[in-house]
Structures are given as C-alpha cells and as structure tokens.
Amino acid sequence: MTDATEPLSPRLGAVILAAGQGTRMRSQLPKVLHPLAGQPMIVYVLEAAEAAGAGDLVVVVGPGADQVRAVLGTRARYATQEVPLGTGHAVLQAYPLLAPACERLLVLYGDTPLLTADSLRTLLAASREATIALLTAEVDAPQAYGRIVRDAAGRVLRVVEEVDAAGAERGIREVNVGAYVFDTAWLGAHLPQLRPSRSGEYYLTDLVALAAAEGQAIATVPLADPVEGLGVNDRCQLARAEAVLRGRVRERLMRAGVTLIDPASTFVDATVEVGVDTVLYPHTFLQGRTRVGARCEIGPSTQLVDTEVGDACRIVWSVLEGAVLSENVQVGPFAHLRPGARLARGVVIGNYAEVKNSILHEDVQQHHFSYIGDAEVGRGTNIGAGTITCNYDGQQKHRTEIGPEVFLGSDTLLVAPVRLGARSGTGAGAVVVRDVPEGKLAVGVPARILRDRVVPEAGAAAAPRVPEGPPPASPVKGGEGDA
C-alpha cells in the first residue's frame, strides 16, 4: 500500500480543461471565471493542482478566451481547442506542451472548484501503481455523472457517460468525479486511438476501457466527502459551491483563532487574512485583498473591500474600500473610507464621516458629519462637525494641507488648494479660501485672520466662543465638496 504522505515525483504536469462554453450559466462571462468566495472558480482548481505538486500547468481554452488568460496570466501555459470536440480532444491539444518532460499528467476540469489538494495528493499516491487513477464518489442522485462500471471481481471495466448509460448502468451510484492521473507515455500512445461518440465528441473517459482491455492497472480513489466532486454548470450549482467554500473559509478562520459571533451571517472571501483574537460580528463582509490584524473588532454590519487593518482596531457599521489603517484606529458607526484613505495610529473616525484619498496622521479626531478628500491632516488635529474639504472645482481635484494640532470649528469649509499651518484654527462656519499661517485663528466668510489662536492647556476649560464679526463683502472662491 502506498503512503499518500510519501514525496511525489517532481515530474508532474497538470492539464485543466476550461474550453467549455457553459451555456447553462446563461452568461457572457466564461463559466470558469464566475466568482466563488471572492475569486474565479478556476483559480481554486489551479491552486489545488499547485498544492498537490504540479510543477507545470496547461489550461485548455476555447477560441477568444482572452479573459481566462488575463485572469491567470503566467501562472499557466495555454492550449486552444478551436472546435469543441470533447474532453479527449481537449487533452490532445495540451499533450505536446507537457510530454515528454512530465512522467505523469494530472487532468482536472476547470468547473470543479471544491476539489481539495489533500484529495489530489491521495489520488497521486494511488497513481504510482497504476496506468490510470481517477477520483470517484458515491452519490444518491447520479444523474449527469459518468458511471463507474466494474466486473464481478470489482475491477474497473469502463466509465459510461450519462447520455450513453442504459438499463442497470443508470442505477450505478459510483460516479466519475472528473479528476485523473495518467502515465504520460501511455496517454500519448492512446489519445489518438479515441473514437468519436454518437455526439461526435471524443471522451477522455473512453481511455479507461482501453486500459482495462489491455489489462493495465486502474486505480480508483473514493472521495471522503462527495461534495468535493460537485461540477458547476448553472447558477444553482454556483450558489451551492459558494456556500461550501465560504463554510471552509469560516472554519479555517475559527481554527486559526478568530471569533465569529454568528458564522452563518459572516461572509469572508477566500483571499482575506484575519489575525488571532479578532472578533467578527454578524453581517460583516470581508472582501478582496483585505487584511485584518490581531485583536480587532469588526462589525456588526460592516464591509471591508481591499482594505488593510492594523492590530487592535474597532470598525462598526461602516464601509471601507481600498483603505489602510494602522493600529488602534476606531471607525464608525456609519463611516465611509474610500480608496486612498490612510489612517495612522490612534485616529478616530466617527458617525457619518467620510475620508477619500487622504492621509490622517496620529491621533486625528474626525468624529462626525464631515468629509476629508484629497488632503493630508497633521498629528493631533481635531476636525469639527460639518467640516468639508472642497476639493473639486468642477474640472479638477485640489489638495488641502492641514498641519499638526489644528482645530477646525464646526461647519468649516476648506476651499482647496489651501494650507493651514501647525496649531492654527478656524471659527465655526468659516470658509477658508487662503492659507492660514501657523498658530493663527481664521474666522468668517471668506475667512480672515482674527488673531493668534489660544491653545488651552491640558485639563483647562474650553476657550470662550470666538466672535465672528460682520461678514465681509468680498466673493467666496468656488468649490463643492466631492461626493
């Protein structure tokens, strides 16, 4: 008996069949590119083959499959099946790219994303003593699967496709999953011997009957979990595969030290990483290339897309897209961080606050009802309620620079491009159209320099209200807040 943990031959190639038209998906997108838990289904197949030890991969695509090539890039080489003449014909197109460099060929279907690397390793171990090894499964409803036909002694005789099964063959519950390992030399000699079926297609499974007739060793490996063999042919099967993959992701996270308060209502893409002792609350979505550090609290009802979160952050009832957060950052509720938001240690973003393409340095406070876009905000600055950087003049975006320890009064409008020096401030309702020097206080519409800003010492009472005086008659520089 061969131990599945023994080292595998490095001379293993893999062929992934992805030339099917996928008509039952009723989609303009190639079937194998439909996303599952955050990445195209064919990527799962590719990753399983790589993890099982395949050193050279060829993907068989149909004509015009530029989308598949764009997604996989240089992770694989490509063979084109110009005319859809079946799985045997597809492997024949890929064979010259792999033989004779590979001693064995792993053949997989691009629409079987649930197959695990462990199952493929077991199949490869069984293939050492066989000309053909294939995965099988016992299913209650074998419709649409090829049946494994055996003789009285249990030896495999052939695989009969659903369309060709008749009589007792239709009741066979052991089915072909669609994962094979072939002796490369034997495969090359026998692929040209395949004959077209009644449909005109050349079945790869007909090689099993050829091998049996020659007395070649044929190994079958039953799947411990038949769901791994699910092929995705329509939207219903797509949804089923999605549920299985997301369940695997949740289990992986929990076993790695992440707490999910309600796993069933927590949705994490397979591409996401989460640190230990982080807690994910219900109705939380972690998507794309999101990375979450340790000891965080995320959710409830929070969405992170392509976002990096440092350790010990708390994010509630908010949406973050393409943002980067350092450690000890608080966000929400009801905040929105858009692409390019960069928050340093200790930043606090409160309710109905929005940040876009801006850097907020350490300990910036932006508690509520404000918009910061195309800006850099210095350490320790306080952003009052209703503050808006008016960064768009109708034609282009402009930058706002806010120094450290600045105090922005409520309803301040910063009409970019504009710069506020360190420890400067604004009065409530100020419309700032010119730079504010370091340490100065600007008030009014448009804002003018009133006096030096008085910075209260720690623990001192709040400064008295600043009189704003009569509004000047000069016009206000244009600019709207960028939504």
**Rounded to an integer, what distance in angstroms lies between the CA atom of residue 266 and that of residue 309?**
18
- Picking from 89, 101, 81, the residue whose alpha carbon sits closest to that of residue 14 is 101
- 368 as an active site residue: the answer is yes
Catalytic residue chosen out of the listed positions 34, 190, 368, 398: 368
CA distances from 141 to 137, 150, 171, 190, 226 (A): 11, 19, 9, 32, 11
| Helical axes 41-52 vs 235-255, angle rounded to 10° | 50
Q: How far is CA 80 from the centre of its chain?
A: 27
How far is the C-alpha of 191 from the C-alpha of 96, rounded, in Å?
12
Closest CA to 203 of 278, 247, 122, 146: 146
Distance CA(349)–CA(320), nearest Å, equals 12
3-state secondary structure the chain: CCCCCCCCCCCEEEEEEECCCCHHHCCCCCHHHCEECCEEHHHHHHHHHHHHCCCEEEEEECCCCHHHHHHHHHHCEEEECCCCCCHHHHHHHHHHHHCCCCCEEEEEECCCCCCCHHHHHHHHHHHCCCCEEEEEEECCCCCCCCEEEECCCCCEEEEECHHHCCHHHHHCCEEEEEEEEEEHHHHHHHHHHCCCCCCCCCCCCHHHHHHHHCCCCEEEEECCCHHHHCCCCCHHHHHHHHHHHHHHHHHHHHHCCCEECCHHHEEECCCCEECCCCEECCCEEEECCCEECCCCEECCCCEEECCEECCCCEECCCEEECCEECCCCEECCCCEECCCCEECCCCEEEEEEEEECCEECCCCEEEEEEEEECEEECCCCEECCCCEEECECCCCECCEEECCCCEECCCCEEECCEEECCCCEECCCCEECCCECCCEEEECCCCEEEEECCCCCCCCCCCCCCCCCCCCCCCCCCCECCC
CA dist., res. 44 & res. 111, Å (int): 9
Residues labelled as active-site residues: 368
